[in-house]
Structure 1
Amino acid sequence: MVKKFSMLALAGLIALPAVASASGGAKANDLERKIEELSMQLDQLKAQMAEGNGVSQDDFDDLAGTVGDLEDRSESWDLAARIKFYGDFRSRLDYYTATNASGADVSNDTSWTNRFRLNMRVKATENVEFKARLAMYKAWGSQGNIYGSGSNGNGQIFPNWDGNSTRTPSDNALRVDRAFVNWNNIGGVPIWFSIGRRPTTDGPPAQVRMGADERMATPVSYMDWPFDGISMGYAYRWGSEAMGTGRIRFCYGRGFEDGIELDTANVMDDMDFAGFSWDVMKKGNRFINLQSFLAMNVFNYPQFQDPVIDQMAGLPQDQGGFGPRVNVGNILHTTGVYQDKFGPVNIFAAAGWSQTDPDSSGMFNDYVGMMMGMTGPNTESENGYSTFVGARYDIDEIGLKLGLEWNWGSEHWIAMTGGHDDLYQSKLAARGNVYEIYGIYDLPTGEAISKYAKTFIRFGYQRYEYDYSGSMDWNMKPYDLDDAADVMALGMMGLDPVESADQIYLTFEAYF
């Protein structure tokens, strides 16, 4: 009986490495307990051998060897259990149709995409933790970016660059979306330091529309831009139960690396970000955040990952290019968001202000006037504004959530949303109105296996109505799309931007 029971216990121990690595370091104590139980059974076998109860020396040696081997391997199992893996998969179907300023229609009746993301967390020491996320994002039947000619003006996907490399459909490669180290509790106080590829996409209040249970990034979603940098933060309590907790962070990042400077004309400076993100308070579902940052030495356009496109972009404007890559000045960006929940109703309100500080190259230039010799670069500071509100009603009894959002941007509004998740044009960058209605349905797929697990479909409709051209562009003057002379001026430059667009989407999403 003892021998038979020992073999069953041994079979259970064989599975322990997989259990330990899946469940975390807490399983180490269970492993030690099992080894102790098996050691006790070894002592029983030894006693039975002394009494001559039919236990052979071979049986005893086999079990003794197994216990020794498990003890040797237990430390490595514990080390492996430090690493936690989790992720998500999304398949998305989009229907898109748009009307350009000249009246021409463009459309894509079916666009399928797959996105896979794998997260990793591992502690190096008690207060140092590494976090990473790899991402694959591609269109069905394509191993490249599905942009079209005149991509930015005609509402297609912008070519791949550092600020959207994991946020735009391309090939089936896994790329580093996030990778950073946090040093927490520095000096025994609630101060932390973090460095690496930053978690700066899908920030609040994006999680409301995307079906996430918690905040997905540090900055407000008006700053939806993957970049590399550092942050230092301090966490505090207000001392009032009603106010809860807060955090303030200083953030610095690099948006463009110019490389080695050559003693030639058109030498660029690196583009950097610096600013603050302040969680003023968080109590339950109530959340207030203010953030302000300065983008310094902003480029006129980024370095594209496709060398052919990058070379074409450097051509003079009269040859269909963007002209030489240069710095054009600074942009000050300030935003805030308020979120709360009352019963089944989630609400939020956000606002943004952008201000340009151009250098001699100018921002919001009138290129038609410049080509005709009527005007020079616009070196005046311009202010832009945006508002963004939304609500979601949760019907928990049937696993359904219904939401409605609206945002508006002024003539000179600039959104830092190069890494947006709207497939074609960023809705928060629009100079005009965008309306969205959506639903999220939790699929009845059985009991969750882990705390990360959930499966749902998300469906929605977006309506874009642009008042001015050039959303997310700080180079060209915003042309009034209701003004015939402005539309003609755009045509002289070979541009026919989207005036209105309709988009319907359906996703199947699994988190694991």
Structure 2
Amino acid sequence: MKKLIISALAVGALFAQTDNASLEKQIKELKAKLAQVEQMAIQNQKKVNPIAANNHIYFSYDLRTTYDFIEYKMNKAANDDKLTNNIFTNRVTLTGVAKPAENLKATLKLEANAIFGMNSELQYSQFNNISWVANETPDDLNIRIKQAFFNYHFGPDNGLMFSAGRRPATGGFPANLRNNDAPASPLAHLINMEFDGFSFEISNTIFSNMSDKFSDWGTWLKFCAGRGYSSSKGKWPADGSPAYSKDNLGITDFAGFILVPYDDGQYSLWMENVWAWNLKGYIDTNGDHIPDTMKDVGDYYGLDVTFRAYGIGEDLGDFFDNTTAFVSFALSQTKPYSGERMLGTTDNKVGTSWWIGAQMPGFKEVDNWGFNYVHGSKYWRSMTYGEDTLIGSIAAVRGNAYEVYYNHQIQPHLTTGLRLTYVDYKYTGSDAFFGDAGTPVDVDKAPFPAADKAYDLRAYIRYNF
């Protein structure tokens, strides 16, 4: 641009001056003035945003204030037939993205998710702050790392990608729709919990080089691996063991892949497979029906197949063009170790779940509404502890979940919404650990207190910039 401006000025001066010495003098003066202007622009940019100017870091701020009215209708074994509560929460998310090169990007996302005032969660639940769910379950004002990872693209046309760190693994499709968020990588029906690990993606560019059909189909493939539990006693073990030596539990690892065989921008088919080893579970060792000892209980396999449409049909009008619809089928299989119990049994158990829903245009261009229906079988078990509602995860339900929601944009960057979730539990243990605590017991016949039905009415207002 600088050379272009100088050239234009020189040409103009050429027609205005016939004396070469005067022309050279004028060009030098113009160069000097242009250099001064350029330097002033750089200094002004540094004053306005020194981070963006020097390091190419982009920053976003997301504040959501939420009200939830929750209600549980308990089974016959409970002392109270109904439990209710109303809860206000503030969730603050700060995101920084740095892109020093076209093929390299790093993301950092910090989050605090707090209940208004003080609460007694530490007295009643020691699991809220484990790394899988720390940002998904509101409690205190601690700021935690939600995401911290980089993406490095390389190979032919940068068609290969490697990533490491704390990966984005919550809020995947279709759970993202109800919050008007962009989808994360895993499908939320099967996986909706944070993890630390690695991923390797083969983009459609690579597949297109193999065959023109792959180009038309939009095929791509991603491999993922991570660790859910590190067998370690920490820096100063109380029993005098060496620092970071193994404890009595095994390392829990998982691996899987996402295959998208077809995606033309409107219609797509997604497939997700995951394996996990050395899963933990609480076992009842005293015969009193109270799980008390944590053990390695077995392995796990999960499958998810999702068909989705961004727009329905052709030339059916704006309503169908702007409707997103989907059908998702998921399967889980537990594989207990010899002599151990997973979900209360020593047998391999298969569970299944269906998730059907849609998001449609609202009354104006700045709003939308949608619905979700989920049905889970007796032994269904998704990989989620990150609760998508305060009454539990609809993706993990053993029974039926029904949900309707409405989102409205008040003005750019300021939105509000209303959501009603109703869960009809048929069996207990929907999102418990994999041992005896996850045993599916008929809610109506359970000899212990259990939620039979649950409601969550949520209203929120959100600023996002």
Query: 1:292 maps to what in 2?
Result: 273
Q: Give deviations 1:318-360, integer Å, cap 9, x for gaps.
A: 8997433321110101112111122232211111100011113
8 Å CA contact 2:55, 2:100 repeated in 1 = no
8 Å CA contact 2:189, 2:328 repeated in 1 = no
Q: Structure 2: where are the runs of 5+ without partners? A: 11-33, 235-240, 313-319
8 Å CA contact 1:220, 1:291 repeated in 2 = no
* Distance in 2 between residues matched to 1:67 and 1:365, nearest whole Å: 68
Are residues 1:360 and 2:338 paired? yes
SS of the equivalent of 1:300 reads strand
Offset, 1:189: 4.5
Query: 1:123 maps to what in 2?
Result: 99
Are residues 1:479 and 2:441 paired? yes
* Distance in 2 between residues matched to 1:168 and 1:77, nearest whole Å: 32
8 Å CA contact 2:391, 2:454 repeated in 1 = no
8 Å CA contact 2:343, 2:379 repeated in 1 = no
Q: How does 1:8-23 map to 2 (within 5 A)?
A: none
Correspondence for 1:255 among 207, 218, 228: 228
The one-letter code of the counterpart of 1:287 is S
Offset, 1:401: 1.3
| Alpha-carbon distance change, 188 to 106 in structure 1, aligned in 2, over 3 angstroms | same
Query: 1:172 maps to what in 2?
Result: 141
Offset, 1:421: 2.3
Q: How does 1:116-155 map to 2 (within 5 A)?
A: 116-142=92-118, 146=121, 149=124
Query: 2:193 maps to what in 1?
Result: 225
8 Å CA contact 1:220, 1:336 repeated in 2 = no
Offset, 1:299: 1.4
Scaled by the length of structure 1, the TM-score of the pair is: 0.72
| Alpha-carbon distance change, 351 to 80 in structure 1, aligned in 2, over 3 angstroms | same
Task: State the identity %.
Answer: 24
Query: 1:54 maps to what in 2?
Result: none
Query: 1:457 maps to what in 2?
Result: 416
CA RMSD of aligned residues (A): 3.7
Q: Structure 1: where are the runs of 5+ without partners? A: 1-28, 41-62, 152-156, 302-313, 367-377, 449-453
SS of the equivalent of 1:397 reads coil
Correspondence for 1:407 among 371, 374, 380: 374
* Distance in 1 between residues matched to 2:307 and 2:378, nearest whole Å: 24
Q: Give deviations 1:366-386, integer Å, cap 9, x for gaps.
A: 5xxxxxxxxxxx321001110
Are residues 1:278 and 2:251 paired? no
8 Å CA contact 1:457, 1:509 repeated in 2 = yes
Are residues 1:88 and 2:62 paired? yes
Q: How does 1:232-251 map to 2 (within 5 A)?
A: 232-236=200-204, 237=208, 239=212, 243-251=216-224
The one-letter code of the counterpart of 1:121 is V
The one-letter code of the counterpart of 2:334 is T
Bigger strand fraction: 2
| Alpha-carbon distance change, 91 to 326 in structure 1, aligned in 2, over 3 angstroms | same
| Alpha-carbon distance change, 284 to 277 in structure 1, aligned in 2, over 3 angstroms | same
SS of the equivalent of 2:294 reads coil
* Distance in 1 between residues matched to 2:419 and 2:40, nearest whole Å: 56
The one-letter code of the counterpart of 1:131 is T
| Alpha-carbon distance change, 178 to 77 in structure 1, aligned in 2, over 3 angstroms | closer
8 Å CA contact 2:420, 2:458 repeated in 1 = yes
| Alpha-carbon distance change, 97 to 361 in structure 1, aligned in 2, over 3 angstroms | farther
Are residues 1:424 and 2:411 paired? no
Offset, 1:410: 0.5
Offset, 1:106: 4.2
Q: How does 1:293-332 map to 2 (within 5 A)?
A: 293-300=274-281, 322-332=291-301
Q: Give deviations 1:187-224, integer Å, cap 9, x for gaps.
A: 54411110000110000112222123x32334444200
8 Å CA contact 1:137, 1:168 repeated in 2 = yes
Scaled by the length of structure 2, the TM-score of the pair is: 0.79
Q: Bigger shift: 244-253 or 192-201? A: 244-253
SS of the equivalent of 1:206 reads coil
| Alpha-carbon distance change, 315 to 430 in structure 1, aligned in 2, over 3 angstroms | closer
Query: 1:395 maps to what in 2?
Result: 362
SS of the equivalent of 2:440 reads coil
